[in-house]
Amino acid sequence: MGWLFMTLAGMGKHPTPKAYLDNQLNYEPTTDRPGLILHASAMIERVYYGAISSTERPDTISAVICLTKWNPRAADNMVFGYKDMDENSGPYNYGCPARILDLLTPTNHPHATEWRSKCRAAITLTSRPKPAPGDRIRLGEPVTFSDGITEQIFHIATQRGKQIICRSCDNIRVTLPGLMKTSWQLIKPALATSQH
């Protein structure tokens, strides 16, 4: 399914994208269609994750993922848009929290199995303690910068809000976006100097 955009009025009385989607994924059955039960939901970095089941099969819980766009100042008044998919369609967003993954019932669908596994791997990475100033880290894969220099070992210099400022082995200040979502390990300073 493609993107669906709407005005603030189109969202009804729902003030946020999450509130709107919670309402859309939780409704009573009618004579024409079964109802939907929303067991839990979360909005993580503009991606909505929900654990849902049908009223026909309430014990079978699966995941729904909605990409969202929210712009209350949109010139065309289309302030909210979303694109929905289920875990069987092989989504590429792996930020689903454990509390939602834990509600899902077992599945044999290959795309859903892979998606759940990648979400669990992302949780393992993001739940690690952040490296502290003074720590040295080795990335799982080297990074090549725009000047052509490739580095794999960094010294953590400071943290500004959520942004971690590092220094390369050549003492150049850099930021590594998404550091907590990538593979790295703490290393001892002696190991870092012997590898340079």
Q: What is the pLDDT of residue 1?
A: 62
Phi/psi of residue 11, nearest 5 degrees: -80, -5
What domain range includes position 94? 4-126
Residue 131 lies in a domain: no
Question: Do 42 and 101 share a domain, yes or no?
Answer: yes
In the prediction, which pLDDT does 167 show?
87
Sequential DSSP letters for 163-193: EEEEEETT--EEE-TTGGGS-EEEE-HHHHH
Q: What local confidence, expressed as pLDDT, does residue 189 receive?
A: 55
Residue 113 and residue 156 in one domain? no
Domain finish residue from 105, 126, 147: 126
Residues 49 and 111 reside in one and the same domain: yes
pLDDT at res. 194: 44
The tally of CA atoms less than 13 A away on the side-chain side of residue 180 is 15
Partners of residue 53 on adjacent β-strands? 37
User: Does 122 lie in the same domain as 61?
Assistant: yes
Does 142 lie in the same domain as 116?
A: no
Number of separate domains in the chain: 2
Q: Which of 88, 89, 92 is nearest to 107 (CA)?
A: 88
pLDDT, position 17: 97
pTM over 0.85: no
The CA R_g of the chain, rounded to the nearest whole Å, is 21
Residues 9 and 103 in one domain: yes
pLDDT along the chain (196 residues), means of 10: 91 95 96 96 97 96 98 95 96 96 97 97 89 90 86 87 82 85 78 46
CB atoms within 10 A of CB 141: 9
Last residue of a domain, one of 126, 152, 176: 126
Residue 193 pLDDT: 46
For residue 165, what pLDDT is reported?
A: 87
In a shared domain, residues 67 and 106: yes
Looking at residue 175, its pLDDT comes to: 85
Q: How far apart are CA 68 and CA 83, in angstroms?
A: 7
Tell me, what's the pLDDT at 191?
Answer: 46
Cβ pair 39, 103 in contact under 8 A: yes
